[in-house]
Amino acid sequence: MSVRPLPDLIPDTKLKLPKQAERTLSSGLTVIAIRRPAVPLIEMRLRVPFGRAPLARATLLSQALFTGTATMSSIDIAAELQSVGGGLSAGLDPDRLLVTGNSLAGGLDRMLEILAGVLSDPTYPAEEVATERDRLADHIQVAQTQPAHLARTALLQRVYGRHPYAVQTPEAEQVKGVRPAQLRALHADRVRPQGAVLVLVGDLNPEKAIDSAEKALSGWIGPSRDGNVPPTPELEPGPLLLVDRPGAVQSSLRMALPAVTRTDPDYAALQLANMVFGGYFSSRWVENIREDKGYTYGPHSSIEHFVAGSSLVVAAEVATEVTGPAMLETLYELGRIASLPPGEEELEQARRYALGTLRLGMSTQAGLAGLASIYASFGLRLDYLREHSAALASATREQVAEAAARYLAPSAAVTVVLGDADKVEAPLAALTAVERSE
Amino acid sequence: MKIPATKYPVERFTLDNGLRVVLTPDRSAPVVGVAVVYDVGIRSEPEGRTGFAHLFEHLMFQGSENLEKLAHFRHVQGAGGSFNGSTHLDYTDYFEVLPAGALERALFLEADRMRGPRLTEENLRNQVDVVKEEIRVNVLNRPYGGFPWLRLPPVMFETFANAHDGYGSFGDLDHATVADAEEFFDKYYASGNAVLAVAGDFDVAQATVLIERHFGDVQARSKPDLPDFAEPDLSGERRESYVDRLAPLPAVASGYRIPDPIGQFEQYLPYVVLAEVLTDGDASRLVERLVQRDRTVTSVGGYIGFMGDEYQVRNPTAMLLQAHLPPGGDADKVLRTIDEELDRLATGGLTPGELARTQARMATHLLRDTDAVLGRALPMAVLEAQRGRPELLNELPRLVGEVTEAQIVAAAATLRPERRATIEVVPGANQ
């Protein structure tokens, strides 16, 4: 019993969406501009459809995008951006090429001009591409010694099989074979405005910012190739896949479970079921394997969305000696949430957390830009925040229990463990069928 | 380009028990950030108790006067908020970001653990296990773990305070006792040794009432004297290397002592800018030379403070340059090139526009960080604790913009090989 009472919460005010504007240009590029003037800056996100692009070339293209244009060297690009407090970088996921940028508010036009040059007039100079190619190959080599990367690679392979999502990082050797001419060809083929979405957020007037983008990007035109990825396959549960990492002092536990898209009627209930299980710190699984048993530092489970399908991923790094017991508790907690309805109070707590984090996520320029850009690549807009909040607020205990039974049952899981196989195989085999990876 | 500044208001007061309070309201989003900073960090932990400041940080989440174990997490997240804490060389922070209507709850939770955490044997043993897992994840089970922040200080410094491993040895962690924790709390977690900062959507008068309600009766205890951690500069170059059995490629990091970040702030600030001139982006000196022209490194970074918190660290600290090398890379050659580039800067000065563009980019980084409520509450709390000047956060973009070419050149001239400590990673994987 508390001697001092816990203060009440003052109920949240109605969710207020910021002022925004949207326009699809004749090139097929959609521009969304959102005003949040708290600091005199602009955040920019551009997502270009890139599904089924050849992986090694696409990955190197994302690293070499800023190596030069007809009028600027890589150093000119960096220096000119810097002079308006700006910076641009690029990355790749299995569906999109993502260009991220930010600058001082007064630098918007200049940043857009430089972006336009990079998009419509890139040269991929041989020397600079060679530098980026070697760096990328080295970074891949380092990534391949990171347990988290190795475990994810094994899980993706096991989950997606022959689907394009199965391999998301190229081999260093494949990258080394990519030539600048191939980057130019891929760029001409795929870095196109059709279906791309540019998001601008910050200290701006939305209509004027879109005018600026329209003017700067008027020369970026041309049709894009269809980048649609086929739907992801159903999960096929089977024996636990054990990947050997001799001498590892920890094991990386990974499980994939089925999930649904953000617009599915089950989504809010599934999100809440995942929270109660392991989706935040105050969840059963985290309280069990970290705060009660001390097996792990940062376990987490989350729903991952790709354009062609969603999945729920459970992940923990645990000491080698407790790999079996940690797996036991994980299976126990999955079984418990799938079999018994959550308690009233723990569901309310998860619900308030889910609603609160939506608000926190949109409280900065960078957060808003990220949300708006991710939603847009799934055909959604910021008003989805309002719809999803309503769905979270109204999901019942029965609906959450149903979602848990349907999606979180341990029998549906695909499981991969990376660790010292000679030490962890027997304890894992006591719980489930185990198959060693080749 | 003109460097803009922020004008976040700053209200300060001190409670009778010595707790200093900083309030910085901003109604632009319905969220609040609450930070409590204690003026104790890794440098103050007792000998034989490496890693204790960090272990104690974990114990602060394990229940308090009115709260059971797990309650803190549940009450923050059940209010829609997020929380964390972190241990630095010179301070330990605890923080929440929440929807605005949860402000009083956050204040209650922070006050409750300031009055007294529940220090039990069971919770201590549990968190020793959790901390060991944290060390395995971040240091022992991954390549380049602890590089360079745990590896360089023992090469660079002599005293236990400055040189020891802040994550701690498993032996020291295992031997920590509840009595040690009680003593550490009594000595360092006095309200007079703490600062509370609140940023975001609240009314100052109301928040003041709430803060007095919850923190006003935290018992006053004497504040510890702040030790002087100073030690002499290096008298000759120092160099060590170690084999990282998980690392596939070589890496190298060097540190150079720089002026006192607080007592000599004017002389210190040029080094902060210099680090960016050298390594911020493809147009910076060392990236252009080492990555793009010579291809002797695959990445290079420069920053101040072993944890990258240049405005939240006390003397002594260092400017660090670190690089990852390609297969068969030659660290000596990289260091020689760095010396060459520093000489070129010290004798030839900057190119037209080089300083201004670096300053513009630094302004963007500073402003971007302050857009988040915790990006204001946390640094303001530390700036109050260490300098009594939380408003410095608003002034930084301008002050960075006022650093001159002459100051950069003079700073570069002090970075001599004989004042340098270097640690080299020898790859042990796939060899």
Euclidean distance between CA atoms B156 and B421, whole angstroms: 5
> Which residues on chain B are in Cβ contact (under 8 Å) with A6?
75, 105, 108
Report the DSSP beta bridge partners of residue A20: A34
pLDDT at position A3 over 80 = no
Amino acid at B115: R
Euclidean distance between CA atoms B52 and B58, whole angstroms: 10
* Chain A interface test: which of B6, B75, B77, B376 (most A C-beta within 10 Å): B77
> ipTM score of the complex?
0.96
> Which residues on chain A are in Cβ contact (under 8 Å) with B202?
none
Euclidean distance between CA atoms A297 and A366, whole angstroms: 28
pLDDT at position B143 over 80 = yes
* Selected residues 207-246 of chain B with any CB under 8 Å from a CB in chain A: 245-246
Question: Looking at domain A240-437, does it have CATH number 3.30.565.10?
Answer: no
Tokens 């007294």 label which residue?
A: B116
Q: What is the pLDDT of residue A1?
A: 44
Amino acid at B255: G
* Chain B interface test: which of A363, A392, A417 (most B C-beta within 10 Å): A363
pLDDT at position A228 over 90 = no
Euclidean distance between CA atoms A186 and A65, whole angstroms: 11
pLDDT at position A115 over 90 = yes
What's the pLDDT tens digit per position in B258-279? 999 999 999 999 999 999 999 9
CATH homologous superfamily of A20-216 equals Metalloenzyme, LuxS/M16 peptidase-like (3.30.830.10)
Q: What is the pLDDT of residue B431?
A: 53
Q: Among B26, B29, B105, whose Cβ lies nearest the Cβ of A9?
A: B105
Over range A68-85, report the average pLDDT.
Answer: 97
Report the candidate in B421, B16, B37, B400 with the shortest Cα–Cα distance to residue B193: B37
C-alpha pair distances (Å), A138 with each of B281, B282, B326, B431: 19, 18, 7, 15
Euclidean distance between CA atoms B196 and B15, whole angstroms: 11
Euclidean distance between CA atoms B53 and B28, whole angstroms: 36
A105/B contact by beta carbon, under 8 A:
yes
Buried b / exposed e over B39-61, threshold 16 CB at 10 Å, is bbbbbbbeeebbbbbbbbbbbbb
What's the pLDDT tens digit per position in B170-182? 999 999 999 999 9
Q: For residue A17, what is the nearest residue in chain B, using CA coordinates?
A: B29
Min Cα separation B170/chain A (Å):
14
Euclidean distance between CA atoms B20 and A193, whole angstroms: 54
Under the banding of pLDDT at 50, 70 and 90, the label for residue A23 is very high
CB-based contact B66 A349, cutoff 8 Å: no
DSSP string, A152-214: HHHHHHHHHTTSGGG--S--HHHHHT--HHHHHHHHHHH--STT-EEEEEESS-HHHHHHHHH
pLDDT at position B380 over 50 = yes
Burial label, B139 (beta-carbon count in 10 A; 0-12, 13-18, 19+): middle
**Strand A30-35 to strand A197-202: parallel, antiparallel, or no bridges (unpaired)?**
parallel
Euclidean distance between CA atoms B242 and B115, whole angstroms: 44
pTM over 0.95: yes
* Chain A interface test: which of B34, B55, B136 (most A C-beta within 10 Å): B136
Burial label, B84 (beta-carbon count in 10 A; 0-12, 13-18, 19+): middle
Q: What is the pLDDT of residue A224?
A: 82
Mean per-residue pLDDT over chain B, rounded: 97
φ, ψ dihedrals at B248, nearest 5°? -90, -15
Under the banding of pLDDT at 50, 70 and 90, the label for residue B186 is very high
Mean per-residue pLDDT over chain A, rounded: 97
pLDDT at position A438 over 80 = no
H/E stretch holding A49 reads: strand A41-49
C-alpha pair distances (Å), A269 with each of A315, A379, A399: 21, 21, 6
Decide whether A20-216 matches A240-437 in CATH topology. Answer: yes
Report the DSSP beta bridge partners of residue A309: A306
pLDDT at position B340 over 90 = yes
What's the pLDDT tens digit per position in B205-243? 999 999 999 999 999 999 999 999 999 999 999 999 999
Q: What is the pLDDT of residue A225?
A: 82
Domain boundaries, chain A: 20-216, 240-437
Euclidean distance between CA atoms A146 and A140, whole angstroms: 10
What's the pLDDT tens digit per position in B111-124? 999 999 999 999 99
A248/B contact by beta carbon, under 8 A:
yes
User: What's the gap between Cα A25 and its chain centre?
Assistant: 27
DSSP string, B338-391: HHHHHHHHHHH-PPTTHHHHHHHHHHHHHHHHHTSHHHHHHHHHHHHHHHS-TT
- The count of CB pairs under 8 A between chains A and B is 248
Q: What is the pLDDT of residue A2?
A: 57
What SS3 state is found at B131?
helix
Q: What is the pLDDT of residue B109?
A: 98
Over range A417-437, report the average pLDDT.
Answer: 97
Min Cα separation B111/chain A (Å):
11
Report the candidate in A191, A219, A212 with the shortest Cα–Cα distance to residue A42: A212
Contact yes or no for B224/B188 (Cβ under 8 A): yes
Over range A3-30, report the average pLDDT.
Answer: 93
Report the candidate in B165, B94, B81 with the shortest Cα–Cα distance to residue B131: B165
| Angle formed by the axes of helices B405-413 and B331-348, nearest 10° | 140
Q: Among A7, A77, A366, whose Cβ lies nearest the Cβ of B104?
A: A7
% of chain A exceeding 70 in pLDDT = 100
CB-based contact A138 B327, cutoff 8 Å: yes
Euclidean distance between CA atoms B168 and A247, whole angstroms: 22
Tokens 């950069």 label which residue?
A: B408
Cis preceding linkage at B148, omega within 30: yes
Under the banding of pLDDT at 50, 70 and 90, the label for residue A265 is very high
Euclidean distance between CA atoms B87 and B134, whole angstroms: 13
